[in-house]
Amino acid sequence: MVVEDDENLRLAISGSLRGAGFAVDAVGDLPAADQALWVNAYDCAVFDRMLPSGDSLAYVRSRRAAGSPVPILFLTARDGVADRVAGLEHGDDYLVKPFAVAELVARVGSLCRRVASGHAALLRCGDLEIDLGRHQVRRAGVLLTLTAKEFAVLELLVTHQGKPVTHGELIAYAWDEMATPKSNVLPVLVGQLRRKLHQPPMIHTVPEVGYRIDP
């Protein structure tokens, strides 16, 4: 998630992160950020330090006190030592404006990998194995080639294996809020996944609900 009140900068940051392969939600103030954080699970949040709705550092400090684990990167024009120390004490990284977009993308990637390393390294469902760290999928030991969207859909299904996952949950997990996928995009993607997983079938349609994967 990107929280930046300057619309041009918000669009530029979001566009660069999407271009690097990240799914991005972008908002302009703290109330919108608060709502998004309660609804979604993010691997990283990028906060402009000073927003019209308040100092994001104070907001992040309160969320951390409540147990929020989301890694935080602060963006700010304030480059004093005290500001840097405060940003690192209450966040996870600190980038001073103006900054190189490539550096921002690299730092976000680093924070996201930190989250991934804290998750279960492997997900298993029967003879299917998902290596989250290496972003690899194998069935019966055979390495499969999946797109990023296919990987995300499969990951969510395996995380909830044996239980139905709704169309809405799969769309929300694999596509960001700026995407407007066509109504048939999920069935088409699931069809591609089924072919790549080969036999016997694992992904089953749950009528009027979504899909379920079983070992």
Q: DSSP characters for 94-145?
A: EEESS--HHHHHHHHHHHHHHHHHHS-SEEEETTEEEETTTTEEEETTEEE-
DSSP β-ladder status, 26-27 and 2-3 = parallel
Q: Which of 67, 90, 118 is the last residue of a domain?
A: 118
**Could you tell me the CA-to-CA distances from 153 to 72, 150, 160, 181, 196 in Å, in that order?**
26, 5, 11, 14, 13
Structural domains counted in the chain? 2
Provide the phi-psi class of 161: left if phi over 0, else alpha when psi is between -120 and 50, else beta: beta
**Residue 58 shares a structural domain with residue 140:** no
Domain interval for residue 26: 2-118
Report the pLDDT value the prediction gives residue 54, as an integer from 0 to 100. Answer: 84
30 and 95 fall within a common domain: yes
Distances (CA, A) of 149 to 63, 152, 187: 30, 5, 12
Q: Is the pLDDT of residue 45 over 60?
A: yes
* pLDDT at site 176: 62
- Bin 46: left if φ > 0, else alpha if -120 < ψ < 50, else beta: beta
Q: Which pLDDT score, from 0 to 100, does residue 171 have?
A: 85
Looking at residue 192, what is its pLDDT? Answer: 95
Q: Which residue has the higher pLDDT, 109 or 133?
A: 109
| pLDDT of 64 higher than 90 | no
d(CA 212, CA 215): 10
**What number of other Cβ atoms are within 10 A of residue 176's Cβ?**
16
pLDDT class of 113 with cuts at 50, 70, 90:
confident
What CATH number should be reported for the domain holding residue 27? Answer: 3.40.50.2300
Co-location of 75 and 24 in the same domain: yes
CATH value at residue 132: 1.10.10.10
State yes or no: pLDDT of 49 exceeds 60: yes
pLDDT the model gives residue 202: 95
Q: Is the pLDDT of residue 46 over 90?
A: yes
Q: Is residue 204 classed as helix, strand or coil in its secondary structure? A: strand
The answer, yes or no, to whether residue 182 has pLDDT greater than 80, is no
Same domain, 108 and 21: yes
Phi-psi bin for 143: left (phi > 0), alpha (psi -120 to 50), beta? beta
Categorize the per-residue pLDDT at 178 as very low, low, confident or very high, splitting at 50, 70 and 90.
Answer: low
22/107 same-domain check: yes
Measured CA distances, 192 to 139, 146, 168 (Å): 15, 9, 19
Verify that 55 and 161 share a domain, yes or no.
Answer: no
Per-residue model confidence (pLDDT) at position 118: 55
The per-residue pLDDT for 177 is 57
Residues 53 and 93 in one domain: yes
Cα 81 to chain centroid distance, Å, stands at 31
- Considering the domain architecture, whether residues 6 and 90 belong to the same structural domain is answered as yes
pLDDT at 119: 52
Share of the chain above pLDDT 90, in %: 40
Average pLDDT over residues 131-147: 86
39 and 66 together in one domain: yes
Are residues 6 and 100 located together in one domain of the fold? yes
On the question of pLDDT at 214 being above 70, the answer is yes
**CA–centroid distance for 44 within its chain:** 7
Q: Of 79, 101, 118, at which residue does a domain stop?
A: 118
Q: Mark whether 69 and 107 lie in a shared domain.
A: yes
6 & 112 share domain: yes
What is the residue-averaged pLDDT of the chain? 85
Confidence of residue 14 (pLDDT cuts 50, 70, 90): very high
Last residue of a domain, one of 118, 153, 178: 118
The β-bridge partners of 138 are 129, 143
